[in-house]
């Protein structure tokens, strides 16, 4: 596995720091990172 997991709603990947990043497609076709408590 390349470190990325594809989901129907977007994508999930594990960062080198050990944290996870989720991205999702917006209605405009762009991919955006999902917000977390850390970057709220």
Q: Which of 16, 20, 21 is nearest to 32 (CA)?
A: 21
Predicted pLDDT of residue 7:
47
Please answer whether residues 12 and 2 qualify as being in contact, where contact means their C-beta atoms are separated by less than 8 angstroms: no
Task: Record the pTM.
Answer: 0.48
Predicted pLDDT of residue 16:
92
State pLDDT tens for residues 1-40: 456 655 467 788 888 998 888 888 888 888 888 876 666 5
């Amino acid at each position: 596995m390349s470190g990325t997991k594809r989901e129907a709603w977007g994508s999930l990947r594990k960062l080198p720091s050990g944290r996870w990043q989720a991205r999702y497609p917006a209605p405009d076709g762009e991919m955006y990172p999902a917000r977390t408590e850390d970057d709220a």
